Chains A and B, each alone.
Chain A
Amino acid sequence: MNAADTVFVMVSAGLVMLMTPGLALFYGGMVRRKNVLGTLMQSFMVLGIITLEWVLWGYSMAFGPDYGGVIGGLEWFALSGVGTSPSPDYGSTVPHLAFMIFQCMFAVITPALVTGAFAERMKFSAFLLFILAWATFVYNPLCHWVWGVGGWMGRMGAMDFAGGTVVHISSGVSALAAALFVGKRLGYGTAAFIPHNLPMTITGAALLWFGWFGFNAGSALASNGLAANAFVVTHIASSAAAVSWVLVEWRHRGKPTTLGAVSGAVAGLVAITPASGFVGTTSALVIGGLAGLFCYGGVLIKGALGYDDSLDVVAIHGLGGIWGALATGLFASTAVNPDGVNGLFFGNPGQLWTQFLTVVVTMGFAFGMTLLILKVIDLLVGVRMPREEEVKGMDLALHSETGYSF
């Protein structure tokens, strides 16, 4: 066991944990005032519920002994056998519990991301069932495929350093399925749905940026040069994307906006996530800069295609994640990480194909499973809030609370 690595992984776990309340604030500021608490509540409930799910069966399904390359068994149910000595397979220099808790924070934030797609209109009971089912049947298998020992995508050579596929593509594409299934908010397209508290959104984005250092650098699972590389490229990509989104928006709509700046930053962070342990600093600049451009385009396409992905999970996490996964196949360099492989720009076109396959399978799996889960939940309890409650707002209708009393 290495003391420096252990500190680093645990601190990183704390940073990633902070991203879930950060996401809550990011989303909360963008919805209408009457739904601020309902939105915040969703992220906090995800923290509570998915943590329990993770320590009971989630961690075992994701990282436990492999069955057919498809799923881990339940040998580690309730963290049985997961103790203070390191796992030989996962973070071999830190306590197994430290690795588990680090991964727990990833398992928590991923379903929280999906909530943005059905913001302001989902029944609370349906939401609880959804995140539980999605975590169990979408996140856990996908996590096992990419990061679990024996997982088939990992064995195929898929490169995902910190969760481009497992976290961002999965949540982004699931968000698309959810937005289509749940349907548009009442008044969408005619009424103006304006963010009610952008300072809150910006605060949330700042916490996300900060926490992402734990997300990406922590995924090195060691206090070393690779972690430093991941830290630095994360920061560069975020900065490049924030600037590029602002510039594109300025040109396109005539004004640079704060929401654009922070959305760009998040898009860059998403894109660099799978690549952070494989690409160098100049590549990060390009990856981030293009992420701002592509994801801005993704937001515009939403308008053209007509689905109500309320908080742009599809454009930022879905599209950003896809770009990041493919960019890994382009820009990966063994000079950065000798344990990886090169990408297309460094003489190995094959990796791009592997990344592409991973992307496509993830998209199909997440989309299909999400639709199935929502269909079942809709039959059981009904997914959508009744019309009068949606008009009244989540805070009063679901929680009998008001966000602001001044």
Chain B
Amino acid sequence: MKKIEAVIKPFALDAVKEGLSNLGVQGMTVSEVKGFGRQRGHREVYRGAEYQVDFVSKLKIEVVAASSLVPEVVDAIKEKAWTGQIGDGKIFIYPVEEVIRIRTGETGEDAL
């Protein structure tokens, strides 16, 4: 099993969620984060004073899937979160040691 972590533009969430559920992915965790890569921040103006705000709002999606499903999950995210503009985000893949469903105690891929 692997964890796929994707930092994406916030408005892409619905499309990515739909793409993943079409693949049979049954759950995900989403958090609101700030970050930047090559995308510059933006300028805010308050009473004549300019501020450069470097951090941009993003969403982080975390999905754990069977290793065999990982390439399709990555492709789905890449397709649905793509705009072509700087700041589309990144995907990271980590190995997962164990998964346990709290309610039933199931482990491994049964717990996904």
Contact = CB atoms under 8 A, between A and B. Distances in A.
A4 B19 CA distance: 70
B46 A249 contact: no
Contacts of B11: none
Contacts of B51: 192, 194
B44 A253 contact: no
A312 B53 contact: no
Contacts, number: 30
Interface string A252-264: 1111010110010
Nearest to B49: A303
B53 A192 contact: yes
Interface of B: 44-53
A172 B57 CA distance: 38
A357 interface: no
Contacts of A296: 48
A312 B45 CA distance: 15
B48 A249 contact: yes
B47 A259 contact: yes
A102 to B, nearest CB: 32
Contacts of A305: none
A195 interface: yes
A194 B47 contact: no
Contacts of B46: 194-195, 257, 259
Nearest to A312: B47
A45 interface: no
B44 A194 contact: yes
B53 to A, nearest CB: 7
Nearest to A248: B48
Contacts of A260: 47
Contacts of B52: 192
A300 B53 contact: no
B51 to A, nearest CB: 4
A97 interface: no
A252 B45 CA distance: 11
B97 to A, nearest CB: 34
Contact of B48 (A192, A195, A303): A303
Given A249-B45, A249-B48, A257-B45, 20 more contacts: A192-B51, A192-B52, A192-B53, A194-B46, A194-B51, A194-B53, A252-B48, A253-B48, A253-B50, A254-B45, A257-B46, A259-B46, A259-B47, A260-B47, A263-B47, A296-B48, A299-B47, A299-B48, A303-B48, A303-B49
Nearest to A249: B48
B48, B50, B52 interface centre (most CB from chain A within 10 Å): B48
Nearest to B53: A192
Contacts of B53: 192, 194
A192, A195, A263 interface centre (most CB from chain B within 10 Å): A192
Contacts of A299: 47-48
Interface in A195-226: 195
